[in-house]
Amino acid sequence: MKRTFSFLLLPFLAVFLSASLISCTDDPVPLPTGSIKIKFDNVVGSKDLKLGTDKYTNAAGEDFTVSKLNYYISNITFIASNGNNFTVPQDSSYFLIREGNVDSQQITINNVPARNYTGIEFVIGIDSLKSATDPSRRKGILDKDSGPTNEEALYWDWNPGYIFLMLEGTSDSATSANSKFYYHIGGFGGLTEKTLNNIRVAKINFGAQRAAVSKNAATQINLKADILKVFNGPTQVSIKKNTSVMFIPYSKNIADNYVNMFSLDQIINK
């Protein structure tokens, strides 16, 4: 009886082993991928931002010009309509947008899984994990001793950490002797003790539009960054009252404002 039972199991065992061998030897079919270009258009309300020339008016009624605008974008995630979101590999997800450098205002993300995306999320600034790693592991755009980060003085050596957003300009309302104002906003929460944490996550819903990524296709997402939002949001920021803001508690208010400065302009599916 035992011998007959074992004999009947043999066909099933053979099928199981065959299926196991196939699953171990066959490579999974790779998902098709495409690319997404993201273009950042810095504006001031309904006007294009022009450095050093045009005058603008903030919500407090103060005129100002902008001489410098830089900000980091990192940890990008594309939100998919089917719930299968795609997060860009972290080491490929750090960018510095500079108004003074046109090429920096368009970034390309490759190897994006082909599907429809309904939104995007990203960090404004540099996340705490990367900020706390050894400088030898922060190269490329994050190298504090060379390249754009060094050229733009976007790293505090006196208080180790990146300046997430740098906005500088002049205003008749500024209380400085040279009429200059500057907002250097950073702070990742501290390395050895708790400090200011101005890391913010921008979330943009595409509404009725879709970023339709397909194989070997290039989709372009055009975003607007409205600098007026730096001055207006949960807190109305006055240049007269706050001519210079760096690593002080008030910087939190500015970070809470500028997290809302991004909006969708249009999506171009090619």
Residue of higher predicted confidence among 160 and 120: 120
244, part of any domain: yes
- How many residues are recorded in the chain? 270
**Number of domains comprising the chain:** 1
Instruction: Give the per-residue pLDDT at 210.
Output: 96
| Domain that includes residue 82, residue range | 33-269
Structure-block tokens of residue 64: 């100002």
Residue of higher predicted confidence among 191 and 100: 100
Q: What is the mean pLDDT of the chain?
A: 90
Taking a C-beta distance cutoff of 8 angstroms, is the pair 35, 218 a contact?
A: yes
Structure-block tokens of residue 261: 């400065």
How many Å apart are CA 174 and CA 180, to the nearest integer?
Answer: 6
21, part of any domain: no
42 pLDDT above the threshold of 80: yes
Instruction: Give the per-residue pLDDT at 27.
Output: 53
Instruction: Give the per-residue pLDDT at 17.
Output: 41
15, part of any domain: no
Work out the pLDDT band at 81, boundaries 50, 70, 90: confident
Taking a C-beta distance cutoff of 8 angstroms, is the pair 166, 68 a contact?
A: yes
Instruction: Give the per-residue pLDDT at 4.
Output: 44
Instruction: Give the whole-number percent of the chain exceeding pLDDT 90.
Output: 82
260, part of any domain: yes
Q: Give me the residues paired with residue 178 across strands.
A: none
9, part of any domain: no
What does the pLDDT average to over 64-71? 98
101, part of any domain: yes
How many Å apart are CA 135 and CA 165, to the nearest integer?
Answer: 20
10 pLDDT above the threshold of 70: no
**24-38, 132-146, 147-161, 203-217: segment of lowest average pLDDT:** 24-38
How many Å apart are CA 233 and CA 261, to the nearest integer?
Answer: 9
Each residue's pLDDT tens digit, 219-240: 999 999 999 999 999 999 999 9
Read off the pTM. 0.88
25, part of any domain: no
